Structure 1
Amino acid sequence: MNTIMIIVALYLVVIFAIGYWAMKKTKTSADFFIAGKSLGMFVSAIAIFSTSLSGFLFIGGPGLTYELGMGALWFTFPTTISFAMAWYILGKRMRLMTEATGAMTVADAVYHRYNSRVASGLTGVATLVGIVVFLGTQVLALGTIIAFIFDISVSVGVVIGMFIVALYSAAGGIMAGTYTSVFQGSIMAVASLVIFFISLNVGDGLTNITQTIATQPFTDMGQAMPEFVGPWGLATPILAMSWFFALSIGIVGQPHVVSRLYMIQDVSKLKWGPALAAVPAVLGGLLLIGVGLVMRYLVITGEMAPLANPDDAILVFLVEYTPAILAGIVFAGVASAIMSTCDAFINIASAAMVRDIPFALNRTLSDEKQLKFGRFAVVVISIVTVLAVLSLGDRGIALLGAVGWGTFAAALAPVLGIGLNWKKATKEGAIASILVGLVLSVVIEVLATLGIYTLPHGIYTGAIAMVISIMTFIAVSYVTKPQPLPENIERVMDA
Structure 2
Amino acid sequence: MDVIGLICVLYFLIVLGIGYWAMQKVKTTEDFFIAGRSLGIFVMGITMFATALSGFLFVGGPGLTYRLGMGALWFTFPSTTSFAMAWYVLGKKMREMTEKTGSLTVADVVYHRYNSKIASGLTAIATFFGTIAFLASQVLALGLMIAHIFGTTKQVGILIGLGIVAIYSTMGGVLAATYTSVFQGSIMAVGSLVVFILAMSVGGGLTNITRTIASTPFPDYGGDILPQFVGPWGLVTPVLAMSWFFVLGIGILGQPHIINRFFMIKDVKKLKWGPLVSVIPAIVGGMFMFGIGLTVRYLVNTGALQSLANPDDAVMTFLTSYAHPIFAGIISACVMAAIMSTCDAFINIASASLTHDLPFALNRKLTEKQKLYGARLGVALVSVFTFLMLLFMSDKGVALLGAFGWGTYAAALAPAVAIGLNWKRGTKEGAIASIALGLVLSLGLEVLARLNIYKLPHGMYGAALYLPLSVIVYIVVSYLTQEKELDSNMAQIVE
Q: Does TM-score exceed 0.5, indicating one fold?
A: yes
Q: Are 2:67 and 1:67 equivalent residues in the alignment? A: yes
Once the two structures are TM-superposed, the CA of residue 141 in structure 1 deviates from its matched residue by 0.6
Q: Are 2:152 and 1:152 equivalent residues in the alignment? A: yes
Match of 1:82 in 2: 82
Once the two structures are TM-superposed, the CA of residue 340 in structure 1 deviates from its matched residue by 2.2
Match of 2:219 in 1: 219
Match of 1:179 in 2: 179
Q: Unaligned regions of 5+ residues in structure 2, if any?
A: none
Deviations 1:405-448 (A, max 9, x none): 00000000111111100000000000000001011111111111
CA distance in structure 2 between the partners assigned to 1:207 and 1:133 by the alignment:
37
RMSD: 1.1
Q: Are 2:55 and 1:50 equivalent residues in the alignment? A: no
Match of 2:324 in 1: 323
Match of 1:189 in 2: 189
CA distance in structure 2 between the partners assigned to 1:455 and 1:49 by the alignment:
33
Match of 2:463 in 1: 462
Match of 1:2 in 2: 2
CA distance in structure 1 between the partners assigned to 2:262 and 2:298 by the alignment:
41
Letter in 2 for 1:308: A
Secondary structure at the counterpart of residue 225 of structure 2: coil
Contact 2:185 2:337 in 1 (8 A): no
Match of 2:206 in 1: 206
Give the alignment's TM-score, normalised by structure 2.
Answer: 0.98
Contact 1:71 1:235 in 2 (8 A): yes
Once the two structures are TM-superposed, the CA of residue 377 in structure 1 deviates from its matched residue by 1.0
Match of 2:312 in 1: 311
Match of 2:340 in 1: 339
CA distance in structure 1 between the partners assigned to 2:253 and 2:46 by the alignment:
17
Following TM superposition, where does structure 1 have runs of at least 4 consecutive aligned residues deviating by more than 3 angstroms? none
Alignment of 1:223-302 (within 5 A): 223-302=224-303
Once the two structures are TM-superposed, the CA of residue 289 in structure 1 deviates from its matched residue by 0.7
Letter in 2 for 1:312: D
Match of 1:350 in 2: 351
Letter in 2 for 1:27: K
Deviations 1:168-219 (A, max 9, x none): 0111111111121222122212211111111111111111110111111111
Contact 1:177 1:344 in 2 (8 A): yes
Return 447-456 or 425-434, whichever deviates more: 447-456
Return 324-333 or 410-419, whichever deviates more: 324-333
Secondary structure at the counterpart of residue 108 of structure 1: helix
Return 1-10 or 328-337, whichever deviates more: 1-10
Identical counterparts, % of pairs: 60
Once the two structures are TM-superposed, the CA of residue 324 in structure 1 deviates from its matched residue by 1.8
Contact 1:49 1:277 in 2 (8 A): yes
Alignment of 1:395-406 (within 5 A): 395-406=396-407
Match of 2:32 in 1: 32
Letter in 2 for 1:140: L
Letter in 1 for 2:263: Y
Once the two structures are TM-superposed, the CA of residue 337 in structure 1 deviates from its matched residue by 2.1
Match of 2:450 in 1: 449
Q: Are 2:430 and 1:429 equivalent residues in the alignment? A: yes
Deviations 1:235-264 (A, max 9, x none): 111111110110111111011110111000
Match of 1:413 in 2: 414
Contact 1:12 1:336 in 2 (8 A): no
Contact 2:416 2:434 in 1 (8 A): yes
Secondary structure at the counterpart of residue 218 of structure 2: coil
Match of 2:363 in 1: 362
CA distance in structure 1 between the partners assigned to 2:34 and 2:99 by the alignment:
12
